[in-house]
Amino acid sequence: MIYPENSLYIVGNSKSQMNNPITQMYGQFFIGFIVDNESGRILDAECDAIITLTNSILKDILIGKNMITDYEAIRNNINLRYLGSSQKAILVAFKDAQKKYLDFKSGKPLEL
């Protein structure tokens, strides 16, 4: 097993611009996160990108950050380092995954 037993897989969804190739190919933008259930630390992440480098830069920005406490740092890093048309979609997908994680932790029903 490559991930700890206490890890969770969470998918954050968003829409990107209609002229974005990701939207044209997949209809939505997704980021899958592997999160340590106890600490909220992001262990791995991957998105439905067309260009492989998109996943590489997102991994560099996201892995090691905390799903609960590091939104501002992630947002700042995305704004500084990711100059692509999916910038807003990345942040919305993160917030969607963050909400699912917080709902799960608090015992609320998940909106999948």
Q: Where are the domains of the chain?
A: 7-106
Task: Give the pLDDT band of residue 20 (cuts 50, 70, 90).
Answer: low
C-alpha distances in Å from residue 71, one per residue of 4, 7, 90, 99: 23, 19, 12, 12
Distance CA 83, CA 61 (A): 13
Tokens of 92: 């919305």
Q: What is the pLDDT of residues 38-82, one digit of tens each?
A: 999 999 999 987 789 999 999 999 999 999 999 999 999 999 999
List Cα–Cα distances, 110 to 2, 17, 63, 72, 107, in angstroms: 26, 26, 24, 24, 9
Q: What is the pLDDT of residues 24-41, one digit of tens each?
A: 555 688 999 999 999 999
pLDDT at 112: 74
CATH architecture of the domain with residue range 7-106: Alpha-Beta Complex (3.90)
